[in-house]
Structure 1
Amino acid sequence: DLVEKNGVWNLGTSEASEMAKLAETTYRDVNIALANQFAIFAEGANIDIVKVIAASNSQPYSHIHQPGIAVGGHCIPIYPRFYLWNDPLATVVRSAREANAAMPAHAVKLLAESLGDLADKNVVVLGVSYRGGVKESAFSGVFGTVAALLSRGAVVHVHDPMYTDKEISALGFQPYALGSPIDAVILQADHAEYKSLSKKDFPGVQAVVDGRRIFAPGNFEGIPFRNIGQGDIRS
């Protein structure tokens, strides 16, 4: 089903080929940024942005991506900067990159809205990986999320089923064991192992922010619960 034989496109010059790669990855970053801005508006309007995006994408020319706590990995956060180096006047690209980079701090803001002052609160960030099922921390949202929590005086712990405690410590984080007392939870990576977690796995938990929309809110009944792109759905 490839448009071009063997999937190879002859664009005539290496510069054109390089731009094709930058255009494809930059498009995804800009698309995600738009989804994230829609999500932030939806939170204040008490609208579920996931349902809105599903309805919008039923139109064949709409392809809105999903919002989330962070854009990570070697490609999507980086290639737009390569493009900006060549085209510094690309305001849409620059604004999109800034919007996505601000999402970890936004997730922490949601937590503070539920929990109040985060000073001296024990908070666990779930996920070192930049996305679920991949053991790769390059430009992961864990770094921005931890930094935003520390800036508010929180005591931060980190968990990831794909990393040993030694590996987590080597990244400068304090490892967390499921079942240990904790004040709050922020889900950063959508590992399959996290989908079935509940408040029983986090003794003493007082607030939850799901940055990837994989938790079942009912598993945290009675706990203030926030999703990216949705108002407070549990109190």
Structure 2
Amino acid sequence: MSRALYGARAGEEVQRGWLRTADVPVAVYGLGKMGLPLAAVYAETTGNVTGVDVDPAVVDTVNAGDCPVEREPGLPQLVADLVGRGALRATTDGPEAAAEASVHVVIVPTLVADGEPDLSAVESVVADVAAGLEAGDVVFFESTLPPGATDDVLVPVLAEQSGLDRDAFGAAVCPERTSSGRALADVRGTHPKVVGGTDPEATRVAELVYGELVDNDLVPVADARTAEAVKVFEGLYRDANIALANDLARLADDLSVDVREAIDAANTQPYCDIHTPGPGVGGHCIPYYPYFVLGWLDGDAPLVRTAREVNDSMPGFVVDRVAEGLAARERSPAAADGGDPDGGEAGDGAALAGASVAVLGLTYRAGVRETRASPGVAVCERLAERGATVHAADPLVDAGDDVPASDVAVDDLPVLDLDAAVLAAAHDEFDAVDWRAFDPLVVVDGRDALDLAGTDHRRYVVGRGWQ
């Protein structure tokens, strides 16, 4: 018999015992690169988890004891073990899973459309949850949500579509604080866990459950709206901090300063923590969070808006450096600095027309199979817009129809007749590229990760300038 935790009269020690002995069935909605590790940690703690996903291939893979999430240390072995002992199973039938569960955990993405948060994926899951919601159930939102979404949008849907009174079930925001490549460790407690309920009882249940899952401190906050704001604020801080680093990096030549070295030295001051510059900010989180404020609230946030504009401009800045280097080479093959001898800001734009350029890295970050808002994709687009012939190499993903570039294997890069190359994501596989096999190139290194020693390539490093 399943046990409901919300509003239960049993003491907390008794309720913790229920959690540890599979008496509290859990449904986790979303088995992506964050959702599956979360479901696995829930399953190893409670022994009774159903994972829900809209993709039948993901569900079949999990039910076979295999792991559809790549490059997540420890996860394949854990999934195999949990499925083998019946602690974890998967389904595409959300309402059926909801009918069996007492704890519902939502971890599907909140998208952005036309500059505003798009809650459609979350609302679709909420409708499934509502179809099976019973009195005493609790719903935890690990998805990143704009402040107020749970109170103003999601809980009313749960109440209306379930037919339950608002005080018959609990809802709490418990935002994920994980990164790809270390998700298991992060779920288990790399960082303190923030929880905030729509009422004190929901907060209590969230503390109870996550106290069993997490080997770190719990940070209960005033309410669900505050918990939503915490996650959004974390993303806004990072976006603004990276924008500062990128703004400084764009001044490297004017200042005649190695900005990366200066940042590293400045960060020896305990209160200073400037992030690292690069070719832009990608992924499913940071580039979208500003719109959880800008597109959701009526108020203005000039710093938030400016930071996003700076980071969005970096792929164009990288392409300008390619054009600058090519133009300088055309004017003076012996030029040592690769810059515009006449002091032009972006070199001769015509130098890109017909140039053959390889972009290394289409994922937004090294070692992570994710291309949403990827700087590498944006660099390909800017190059193609300016008339370049673009080739894309990435060991994790193919260019596909949405990227204006021909797909090329990393090993085949030396056979291309290239004029320039751009490093957008520093995958380990690029370390094996023999740069001595190429005729002299203009190389723009967005990550300060390439070793071009012993070559005649003209190199620009974002944050260090022309080398």
TM-score, scaled to structure 1: 0.90
1:104-150: per-residue Cα shift (whole Å, max 9, x none)? 00001111111121110000100111010111111111221012111
Which residue pairs with 1:159 in the alignment?
A: 393
One-letter identity of the residue aligned with 1:24:
E
- Given that residues 44 and 231 in structure 1 are in contact (C-alpha distance below 8 angstroms), is that contact kept between their aligned partners in structure 2? no
Which residue pairs with 1:168 in the alignment?
A: 399
- Given that residues 196 and 216 in structure 1 are in contact (C-alpha distance below 8 angstroms), is that contact kept between their aligned partners in structure 2? no
Which residue pairs with 2:342 in the alignment?
A: none
Secondary structure of 2:465's match?
A: strand
One-letter identity of the residue aligned with 1:151:
E
Instruction: Look at both structures and tell me which one has the larger radius of gyration over its CA atoms.
Output: 2
Which residue, out of 256, 277, 283, partners 1:73?
A: 283
Measured at CA, do residues 129 and 3 of structure 1 come closer, stay the same or move farther in structure 2, by a change above 3 Å? closer
**Separation of aligned partners in 1, 2:271 and 2:370:** 33
- Given that residues 435 and 452 in structure 2 are in contact (C-alpha distance below 8 angstroms), is that contact kept between their aligned partners in structure 1? no
TM-score, scaled to structure 2: 0.47
**Separation of aligned partners in 1, 2:241 and 2:298:** 19
1:8-65: per-residue Cα shift (whole Å, max 9, x none)? 3211111111110010011000000000001111232221111101110000000000
Query: CA shift at 1:196, angstroms?
Result: 4.5
- Given that residues 80 and 97 in structure 1 are in contact (C-alpha distance below 8 angstroms), is that contact kept between their aligned partners in structure 2? yes
Measured at CA, do residues 123 and 88 of structure 1 come closer, stay the same or move farther in structure 2, by a change above 3 Å? farther
Which residue pairs with 1:120 in the alignment?
A: 354
Percent identical pairs in the alignment equals 37
Pick which of 16-25 and 135-144 moved more: 135-144
- Given that residues 185 and 205 in structure 1 are in contact (C-alpha distance below 8 angstroms), is that contact kept between their aligned partners in structure 2? no
**Separation of aligned partners in 2, 1:145 and 1:87:** 33
**Separation of aligned partners in 2, 1:191 and 1:2:** 26
1:177-218: per-residue Cα shift (whole Å, max 9, x none)? 3222211100010111223434235x3342100011101242
Secondary structure of 1:132's match?
A: coil
Gapped regions of structure 1 (runs ≥ 5): none
Measured at CA, do residues 2 and 187 of structure 1 come closer, stay the same or move farther in structure 2, by a change above 3 Å? closer
Question: Residue 184 in 1 paired to residue 411 in 2?
Answer: no
**Separation of aligned partners in 2, 1:2 and 1:68:** 25
Measured at CA, do residues 109 and 226 of structure 1 come closer, stay the same or move farther in structure 2, by a change above 3 Å? same
One-letter identity of the residue aligned with 2:399:
I
- Given that residues 45 and 231 in structure 1 are in contact (C-alpha distance below 8 angstroms), is that contact kept between their aligned partners in structure 2? no
Which residue pairs with 2:445 in the alignment?
A: 210
How many corresponding residue pairs?
A: 228
Gapped regions of structure 2 (runs ≥ 5): 1-189, 194-210, 328-350
Which residue pairs with 1:23 in the alignment?
A: 233
**Separation of aligned partners in 2, 1:179 and 1:3:** 47
**Cα RMSD for the two superposed structures:** 1.9
Query: CA shift at 1:7, angstroms?
Result: 3.3
Which residue pairs with 1:40 in the alignment?
A: 250
Secondary structure of 1:113's match?
A: helix
Secondary structure of 1:178's match?
A: helix
**Separation of aligned partners in 1, 2:367 and 2:386:** 30
**Separation of aligned partners in 1, 2:287 and 2:250:** 20
Which residue, out of 300, 325, 328, partners 1:89?
A: 300
Which residue pairs with 1:225 in the alignment?
A: 459
Question: Residue 148 in 1 paired to residue 382 in 2?
Answer: yes
Secondary structure of 2:219's match?
A: coil
Which residue pairs with 1:64 in the alignment?
A: 274
